[in-house]
Structure 1
Amino acid sequence: MKKHFLFAMALAIALPSQAAVRDKHWSLMAERMFPAVSSLQAGKVPERLAAVLDTRKKRIDACQQASKCLFLASTWNDEEMDAVAGAVAALPATPGKRPVVFDDGAKAQVVRELRGLNAILQTYGFGNETRYPMIDGPVEKPGSEEFKVLVADALWLADAGRNDPGVNLDPSIPLAIALIDVNERNDAVQFEPLDKGLNTAPFALARTIDWKRYKYTAIIIPGVGPENPAISMSARGKLHMKVAANRFAEGNTAFIVVSGAAVHPKGSHFVEAVEMRKQLIERYNVPADRIVIEPYARHTTTNLRNVTRELAAMGAPIDKPTLIVANPSQSRYIESPEFAARNPAELGYHPGVVGPRLSPFELEFRPSLKSLRVDPWDPLDP
């Protein structure tokens, strides 16, 4: 194993510099995790940022692919983040292309993205523990020979993609993406482009719908995954389906939004939102064009955040209420002080306003556009 590690390191150091074609998957990952930073193009940045990037490149190159040195050299500091933020804020609007706009400004968004990139280097490079080690983190045990080999392979892969035009602003970007790639943690883009896949029909319907006919824009169904990898949907998940189907049949809600990734147990291949959509169609005859899928959320906080993103993307009126349908235990948790404190601690804001309660299963929820802020602190669901 040690020989494999040294061999990979030697290859990484010896890899010749060469032109690179665009890796569509890496471009998608970069745009999903670092949308503001990715709006900058190498060679077309202001003088101040160009100087910062040149200094960073020299610092990174001096490491000669030594992993610890490389991860430290690739880490962004506050002054460097500020230079990137200034360049993003100064970008002109591009005809035909939607500008990267966030409610709290370019600097706050750039800082989120680059601190998230730093966190990727810490977690997948150094092997530092994640906030949720039971469901997140490297595929190999940090510190093991297998982990060291994977890191060495990531350095090789990153160097091979360093000139990729989709990620070549700074060497830290292909490095972070390579670390995610070798760990097969491509969760963040697994279903992209979502609005041209499973959400094509509901998004098309949303463009023609009369929202005034409905009291609620959507029923939100958060995932509640099983702990047994052989089970596709937990008993409580099935309860969610039955309650939500009954409520939808009353006719005062425009859509159902199912939310949840492949989370429990770690390594599960069952995506909660996919399984929920399937059951709503097959067991309850809910029309497919009335079901919006959100297959990325890994926590209850991000269930509400990500559903808000889908509602905004489909043009739903954000000022109208939605309805959260969940089992009594999860429903009580969503309206609890604990959950209210968890949102700003983990997301930095509240994804919306919870309440009032309509039944043991139902809570009203008014979404907030703060949920559109992208944060690669969790690269599996930024």
Structure 2
Amino acid sequence: MAALGKRLFPVVSSMERSGTTTPVRSMLAERDRRLARCADDAVCKLDASRWGSDEIGIVAGAAAARERSEAIRRELTGLNAILEIYGKGGVSRYPQIDGPIGKQGSERLAADVAVAALLSEVGRAETVAALDPSIGLALALLDVNNRLDAIAFEPIDGGLNADAFQHARTLDWSRYPYTAIIVLGAGPDDLMTPLSARGKLHVKVAAQRYFDGKAPFIIVSGGAVHPRDTRHVEAVEMRRALIERYKVPAHAIVIEPYARHSTTNLRNAARLLLSMKAPMDRHALVLSNPRHISYVESAEYATRNQNELGYQPGKVGQRTSPFDVAFLPSQEVSRVDPLDPLDP
């Protein structure tokens, strides 16, 4: 669970009690006593693990840098959300596609919470949960619900992306009008279909743009999203189609296999461009069907970015065709969002 902990809670999971202040240690000791009073009661442990606003304030207030303090607040708030959604059956950000296996109040949910409590107890000594046992419980809740999506393709610069990242190291980016063609996913409506009709359309147009020399890379973006419980990852299926149908070379394709909505399509693609050391003062080209591109251009989309991410993942620019719009990525995209534990 260390990899998942570092992905969701990069600051909090790296903290140790010995390195904190006296007020933080005193507060954590009281949390320990609260947890101990629960004995073997898993529901009690769930409630005891929740972070109060005053407790979050104590930990965040001890941070020397403002950015670190804000990250601690985000991470502990996200941890609380995991406890609420996967421990109590609360409503997730995207309830149609996310959430626990067991329904709220069901025997399945209660059984999974009990096992998660035992898992976290067994892993109590793990470094990732050194600051507080609630970290281990949150990770265990995701584990028992088979929601390890956030680390399924890590490291992101390896595996299916290894050739592209290697190619980027020696690339002359100035030879191309755009840094990448960012292809937005479109999930199918059934569990048996790997690539939807719209997905096939996106892939065909993307191949045309690539062979027209628009960009050195095609970033295919989309996780295992639609329908709920699908095992088909949109980015992987689009990559397969680009190679098998259109003979796009593997070194020109980058998978972004985590995004669950159009907001994170662009955020995650921008993160990849940062990792590939693409010039961030140059535009990428976002590609989808005409209706979807109109949405990306809309005020509704900008508002949703602000509400869910807290910032804009970049600046949407000129529409170059019914299928494309220019996009200038933002440096802010590195901010981790544990409120979406499947794609932070």
* TM-score normalised by the chain length of structure 1: 0.87
1:200 is matched with 162
SS in 1 for 2:336: coil
2:59 is matched with 84
Pairing partner for 2:50 from 57, 60, 75: 75
Listed as ranges, the matches of 1:22-41 within 5 Å are 26-41=1-16
Matched, 1:139 2:84: no
- Kindly indicate whether the alpha-carbon contact (under 8 Å) linking 1:37 and 1:84 is maintained by their aligned counterparts in 2: no
2:293 is matched with 331
Residue 196 (structure 1) shift: 2.0
Matched, 1:286 2:248: yes
Looking at structure 2, the residues matched to 88 and 230 of structure 1 have their Cα atoms a distance apart, in angstroms, of: 49
Listed as ranges, the matches of 1:44-193 within 5 Å are 44-89=19-64, 105-193=67-155
SS in 2 for 1:324: strand
- Kindly indicate whether the alpha-carbon contact (under 8 Å) linking 1:39 and 1:88 is maintained by their aligned counterparts in 2: no
SS in 1 for 2:319: strand
SS in 2 for 1:73: helix
**How far does the alpha carbon of each residue in 1:159-202 deviate from its partner, in whole angstroms, 9 at most, with x for none?**
11111123222010000000000000110101111212111111
- Kindly indicate whether the alpha-carbon contact (under 8 Å) linking 2:149 and 2:343 is maintained by their aligned counterparts in 1: yes
Counterpart residue type for residue 201 of structure 1: D
Looking at structure 1, the residues matched to 61 and 274 of structure 2 have their Cα atoms a distance apart, in angstroms, of: 27
Pairing partner for 1:368 from 311, 319, 330: 330
Looking at structure 2, the residues matched to 195 and 49 of structure 1 have their Cα atoms a distance apart, in angstroms, of: 37
Residue 287 (structure 1) shift: 1.1
Matched, 1:211 2:173: yes
* TM-score normalised by the chain length of structure 2: 0.96
Looking at structure 2, the residues matched to 65 and 339 of structure 1 have their Cα atoms a distance apart, in angstroms, of: 46
In structure 1, stretches of 5+ residues that fail to align are 1-25, 91-103
**How far does the alpha carbon of each residue in 1:257-284 deviate from its partner, in whole angstroms, 9 at most, with x for none?**
1110010000001000000111111111
In structure 2, stretches of 5+ residues that fail to align are none
2:261 is matched with 299
Counterpart residue type for residue 179 of structure 1: L
Residue 42 (structure 1) shift: 4.1
Matched, 1:350 2:325: no
Looking at structure 2, the residues matched to 207 and 55 of structure 1 have their Cα atoms a distance apart, in angstroms, of: 50
Moved over 3 A (4+): 86-90
SS in 2 for 1:258: strand
Matched, 1:261 2:236: no
2:279 is matched with 317
Counterpart residue type for residue 173 of structure 2: W
Looking at structure 2, the residues matched to 292 and 219 of structure 1 have their Cα atoms a distance apart, in angstroms, of: 10
Q: How many residues align?
A: 344
Aligned alpha-carbon RMSD (Å): 1.4
SS in 1 for 2:232: coil
